[in-house]
């Protein structure tokens, strides 16, 4: 059975038109009128249904990352990391797991050009035997702000002015000048890699720190990184204007055409790990999302490869209705106390219940491919067929039991309630080092946009 075909599905199309309820439609050209030139009859059910469906075709676009392209394929483990995690899909080299991936831009609308200087989303849904795992990352390894409390303001500043609906640099500078922790992210955004050539030629990163837990219960902080096997390629400002000017969907098209031609995009997955017992050994906080973990002291370890070898069948079902969430994890992978990750854990499923409805995880692209069972049911657009009589727990009539316990981080959490900034802010060292490592011609691209740059330059050229 093809797991990507569902009923209702166009795989079971009848040879003639029907209404949504399956009745034959004998005329899909003309409305039912009184005489050849008379008014249209309300009883033309097919016409009313056709218009009503059309009138409701759009759903709310994502509040961020509205513009995106997706594709399907598989993830294959190439290196054994079973000493670090009991995650079933990482159990041994050679194990393959089906995936769906969505790449995106962040700030602008669903139909905006894919050539804008903007981070790119890199979200991977692994359909594992122990439920789905969503790795919801970006192309840069750091983020603008470290506390999710700041995220809505940050997005408001980057989005168009609410009065004119024009994106304006004075609003961006105004907001970020209050947030020196964002400097590191700007050294990526205004670097040559600030505009990826397309989705195939960019890196990905989980950005936030997660935790891997072994069967024995030992935890390691982890960062995930994707490296494209075809290399990283980017557009300079003038190239982007030309590419975007002639095709505002160039990256979506590149992804689709490459897969259709059998030129399957591939990325290698690497991890970096830190023993939580060593987290105080650094001059930065490893749970601070505005920092990278230097690769010379925390090396990249290979894990597997991601291959995209199947185009989506339908953009609405497998892109618009697709829902990723950083809180969707599997046994062996857990969150960390990274403040930004903690807020993301809430936000995604919250927006998806609004954007897609409470049963959004029943949608085929979002549902696990493994069997699942609980007593959450009903609500708008429930389409799961159930025939159980016992929908409560516990019950002597239902043999359902708890799953086997799996390890979660053993660290003890204590402390008084606080609202505060982390102790080791160290906002300038990493961006300063990165800036001073650039060659002169690379600095050229940092000089865009002209009214943001002076402030950033001033801070960056200062010695650390
Ligand atoms: C507290 C900080 C953040 C909040 C509150 C937040 C919130 C959101 C929301 C509400 C969406 C729309 C989801 C939907 O409608 O399906 C979204 C999408 C997304 N976010 Fe975040 N975000 C945050 C930080 C980040 C970070 C740090 C990353 C990168 C690691 C990231 C990557 C993404 C991606 C890739 C998507 C698009 C997923 C897709 O393709 O459907 N976000 N975010």
> Which ligand 1 atom lies nearest to the CA of residue 322?
41
* pLDDT tens digits in sequence order for the chain, 464 residues long: 455 555 677 778 899 999 999 999 999 999 999 999 999 999 999 999 999 999 999 999 999 999 999 999 999 999 999 999 999 999 999 999 999 999 999 999 999 999 999 999 999 999 999 999 999 999 999 999 999 999 999 999 999 999 999 999 999 999 999 999 999 999 999 999 999 999 999 999 999 999 999 999 999 999 999 999 999 999 999 999 999 999 999 999 999 999 999 999 999 999 999 999 999 999 999 999 999 999 999 999 999 999 999 999 999 999 999 999 999 999 999 999 999 999 999 999 999 999 999 999 999 999 999 999 999 999 999 988 888 999 999 999 998 999 999 999 999 999 999 999 999 999 999 999 999 999 876 655 554 554 455 455 545 444 43
Q: Is 309 a catalytic residue?
A: no
Residue nearest to atom 8 of ligand 1 (CA): 348
pLDDT at 447: 47
> Which ligand 1 atom lies nearest to the CA of residue 136?
35
> Which ligand 1 atom lies nearest to the CA of residue 63?
12
Q: Coil, strand, or helix at residue 451?
A: coil
Instruction: Count how many Cα atoms sit within 13 Å of the Cα of residue 327 in the half-sphere of its side chain.
Output: 11
Question: Residue 272: what are its φ and ψ, rounded to 5°?
Answer: -120, 140
Residue nearest to atom 6 of ligand 1 (CA): 344
Does the bond joining 229 to the residue before it have cis omega, within 30 degrees of 0?
Answer: no
Closest CA to 237 of 445, 421, 56: 445
In whole angstroms, what is the distance from residue 433 CA to residue 300 CA? 20
Pocket residue to mutate for ligand 1, from 59, 60, 61, 62, most atoms within 8 A of Cβ: 62
In whole angstroms, what is the distance from residue 11 CA to residue 5 CA? 7
Residue nearest to atom 2 of ligand 1 (CA): 148
pLDDT at 7: 64
What count of residues does the chain have? 464
For residue 402, what are the contacts with CB-CB under 8 A and spacing of at least 6?
Answer: none
What is the Å distance from ligand 1's center to 137 Cα?
Answer: 8
pLDDT at 443: 59
Q: Are 315 and 256 in contact (CB under 8 A)?
A: no
Residue nearest to atom 25 of ligand 1 (CA): 344
Q: What is the DSSP letter of 306?
A: E
In whole angstroms, what is the distance from residue 4 CA to residue 11 CA? 10
The residue to which tokens 């086997």 are assigned: 404
Q: Is 375 a catalytic residue?
A: no
The residue to which tokens 């691209």 are assigned: 445
Number of H helices, E strands in the chain: 11, 10
User: Residues annotated as binding site?
Assistant: 348
> Which ligand 1 atom lies nearest to the CA of residue 343?
1
Q: How far is CA 36 from the centre of its chain?
A: 53
**Which residues, judged by CB distance below 6 Å to any ligand atom, belong to the binding site of ligand 1?**
62-65, 68, 102, 104, 121, 123, 136-138, 143, 148, 151, 207-208, 322-324, 340, 343-344, 347-348, 351-352, 355
Q: Coil, strand, or helix at residue 246?
A: helix
Of 108, 132, 138, 427, which residue is the catalytic one?
A: 138
Pocket residue to mutate for ligand 1, from 136, 147, 255, 316, most atoms within 8 A of Cβ: 136
For residue 130, count other CB atoms closer than 10 A to its CB: 17
Sign of CA dihedral 389, 376, 320, 262: negative
Q: Are 210 and 334 in contact (CB under 8 A)?
A: yes
Residue nearest to atom 32 of ligand 1 (CA): 137
Closest CA to 333 of 269, 266, 282, 424: 269
Beta bridge partners of 24: 18
pLDDT at 6: 57
pLDDT at 440: 73
Instruction: Count how many Cα atoms sit within 13 Å of the Cα of residue 348 in the half-sphere of its side chain.
Output: 19
Pocket residue to mutate for ligand 1, from 188, 344, 353, most atoms within 8 A of Cβ: 344
Strand pairing report for 219-228 and 333-334: unpaired
What is the Å distance from ligand 1's center to 399 Cα?
Answer: 38
Sign of CA dihedral 441, 232, 79, 103: positive
pLDDT at 454: 45
What is the Å distance from ligand 1's center to 68 Cα?
Answer: 12
Output helix, strand, coil percentages for the chain, rounded to the nearest 5. 25, 15, 55
User: Residues annotated as binding site for heme?
Assistant: 348
> Which ligand 1 atom lies nearest to the CA of residue 340?
1
Residue nearest to atom 34 of ligand 1 (CA): 121
Tell me the C-alpha to C-alpha distance, in Å, between residue 256 and each of 103, 199, 234.
12, 10, 19
Q: Coil, strand, or helix at residue 302?
A: strand
The residue to which tokens 């290196």 are assigned: 79
For residue 394, count other CB atoms closer than 10 A to its CB: 10
């Amino acid at each position: 059975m093809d797991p990507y075909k569902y009923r209702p599905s166009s795989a079971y199309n009848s040879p003639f038109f029907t209404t949504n309820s399956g009745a034959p439609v004998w005329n899909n050209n003309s409305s039912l009128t009184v005489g050849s030139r008379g008014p249209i009859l309300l009883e033309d059910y097919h016409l009313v249904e056709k218009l009503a469906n059309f009138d409701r075709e759009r759903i709310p676009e994502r509040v961020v990352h509205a513009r995106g392209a997706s594709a399907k394929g598989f993830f294959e483990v190439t290196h054994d990391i079973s000493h670090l995690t009991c995650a079933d899909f990482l159990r041994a080299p050679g194990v393959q797991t089906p995936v769906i991936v969505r790449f995106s831009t962040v700030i602008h609308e669903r139909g905006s050009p894919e050539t804008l200087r903007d981070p790119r989303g890199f979200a991977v849904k692994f359909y594992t035997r122990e439920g789905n795992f969503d790795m919801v990352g970006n192309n840069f390894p750091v983020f603008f702000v470290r506390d999710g409390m700041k995220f809505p303001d940050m997005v408001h500043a980057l989005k168009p002015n609410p009065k004119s609906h024009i994106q304006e640099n004075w609003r961006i500078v105004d907001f970020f000048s209050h947030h020196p922790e964002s400097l590191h992210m700007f050294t990526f955004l205004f670097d040559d890699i600030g505009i990826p050539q397309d989705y195939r030629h960019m890196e990905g990163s989980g950005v936030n720190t997660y935790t891997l837990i072994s069967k024995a219960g030992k935890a390691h902080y982890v960062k995930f990184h994707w490296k494209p096997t075809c290399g990283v390629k980017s557009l300079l400002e003038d190239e982007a204007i030309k590419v975007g000017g002639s095709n505002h969907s160039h990256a979506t098209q590149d992804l689709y055409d490459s897969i259709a031609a059998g030129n399957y995009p591939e990325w290698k997955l690497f991890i970096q790990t830190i023993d939580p017992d060593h987290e105080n050994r650094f001059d930065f906080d490893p749970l601070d999302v505005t920092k990278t973990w230097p690769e010379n002291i925390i090396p990249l370890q290979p894990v597997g490869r991601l291959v995209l070898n199947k185009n989506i069948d339908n953009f609405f079902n497998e892109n618009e209705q697709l829902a990723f969430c950083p809180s969707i994890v599997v046994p062996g992978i857990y969150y960390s106390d990274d403040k930004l990750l903690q807020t993301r854990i809430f936000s995604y499923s919250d927006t998806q219940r609004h954007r897609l409805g409470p049963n959004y995880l029943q949608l085929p692209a979002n549902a696990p491919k493994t069997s699942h069972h609980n007593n959450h049911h009903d609500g708008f657009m429930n389409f799961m067929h159930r025939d159980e009589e016992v929908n409560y727990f516990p019950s002597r009539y239902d043999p359902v039991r708890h799953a086997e316990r799996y390890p979660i981080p053993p660290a003890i959490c204590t402390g008084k309630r606080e609202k505060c900034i982390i102790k080791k802010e160290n906002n300038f060292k990493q961006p300063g080092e990165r800036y001073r490592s650039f060659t002169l011609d690379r600095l050229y691209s940092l000089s865009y946009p002209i009214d943001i740059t002076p402030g950033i330059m001033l801070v960056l050229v200062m010695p650390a």
